[in-house]
Amino acid sequence: MKATQYITIKNTNIPIVIRSFKTSKYLKMYFKAETLYISKPKYVSIKKALEFVKENEEYVYSRYMKLISTKERKTKTWTTGETFYFKGEEYKVVVNSIDNNQKSMRIQLNIDTNNKVLNITYPKELNSFSEEEKKQYIDKGIKKLLKYNTEILLENKVTYWSKITQIPYKEFKVNDATSKFGSCIPKTKVLHFSSRLIMLPEDKIDAIIVHELCHIVHPNHSKDFYNLVKKYIPNYDEINKWLKKNGGIIMF
């Protein structure tokens, strides 16, 4: 099923993608951006997958509406006075444009941790671009900044928690995900994390890392899985509630 298809719940058309995998043992659904993804075993029909969605339509609808409202509320225009989060703290955005003698379109970004300011400086030539083009240009620079800082932070944290939990992993990768904080491929022991993690408080990042490491041992969300997570993160339930309520801060 292609992403251009929709499922209607409460008069709302929700984009949906259904994928079949040989390795899937059960039906699973998740949102990526504002699209609902369903992964299913090869032997499960599309009709059965859609019935699975209908059985969980209250969750699907509430989650979709939350994603839409969060996107509308959190989408950045990168103008002075906006807020930005770094390691869980609120920063103010300050934007300046300068004459560009070298004719380079490079954007300059600086995170001022003392004054809690994100400084964005771009060449005046960018003012001739449309607002959407300008935003995309700045988005690109911000994403690189976040990825760089997240990779540095995770380099130490993933190693630390792997030693504490005694759960070995092969490698971790950082991508520009906004709908999932992390994921794990248990068979390969490869961990995937969102480059936006650096925007969250560090205790929340720790919980996400432990969550994904524990999936190497328990590739599910069983009671044993959560017991293992809570062995190292006793207040995991509290952190998980916080992430569900405030996770939208990574959106832009």
Over residues 195-224, the pLDDT tens digits come to: 999 999 999 999 999 999 999 999 999 999
DSSP state of 234: T
Same domain, 156 and 219: yes
Q: Answer yes or no: is 1 within a domain.
A: no
Instruction: Report strand pairing: 190-194 vs 171-175.
Output: parallel
Say yes or no: 97 and 166 in one domain.
no
The pLDDT of residue 129 is 86
CB–CB of 45/14 below 8 Å? no
Among 25, 52, 73, residue at a domain's last position:
73
Q: What is the pLDDT of residues 37-73, one digit of tens each?
A: 999 999 999 999 999 999 999 999 888 887 776 655 5
Provide mean pLDDT across the span 89-105.
80
Q: State the residue for tokens 């379109």.
A: 105
pLDDT band at 249 (very low <50, low <70, confident <90, very high): confident
Residue-range definition of the domain harbouring residue 136: 83-145
* Within a domain: 78: no
Give me the residues paired with residue 117 across strands: 92, 112
How far apart, in whole angstroms, are the C-alpha atoms of residue 121 and residue 54? 48
Does residue 191 surpass a pLDDT of 60? yes
> β-pairing, 35-41 with 12-21?
parallel
Q: What is the pLDDT at residue 8?
A: 92
Query: What's the total number of domains in the chain?
Result: 3
CA–CA distance, 132 with 147 (Å, rounded to integer): 22
Q: Are residues 179 and 87 part of one domain?
A: no
Looking at the structure, do residues 67 and 117 belong to the same domain, yes or no? no
Report which residue type is found at 176.
D
- Is residue 54 located within the same domain as residue 91? no
* Backbone torsions φ then ψ of 83, nearest 5 degrees: -105, 155
Same domain, yes or no: 104 and 196: no
Task: Please report how many Cα atoms fall inside a 13 Å half-sphere around the Cα of residue 187, on the Cβ side.
Answer: 2
Instruction: Return the CATH number at 228.
Output: 3.30.2010.10
Residue 3's pLDDT band (boundaries 50, 70, 90)? very low
Q: Look up residue 97 and give its two tokens.
A: 């444009």
pLDDT of residue 206: 98
Alpha carbon 1 to chain centroid, angstroms: 24
Whether 97 is in a domain gets the answer: yes
Please report which residue ranges of the chain form alpha helices under DSSP H.
Answer: 46-55, 57-74, 131-165, 202-217, 223-232, 236-246
Backbone angles phi, psi at 73, to 5 degrees: -80, -35
Burial class (CB in 10 A: 0-12, 13-18, 19+), 60: buried
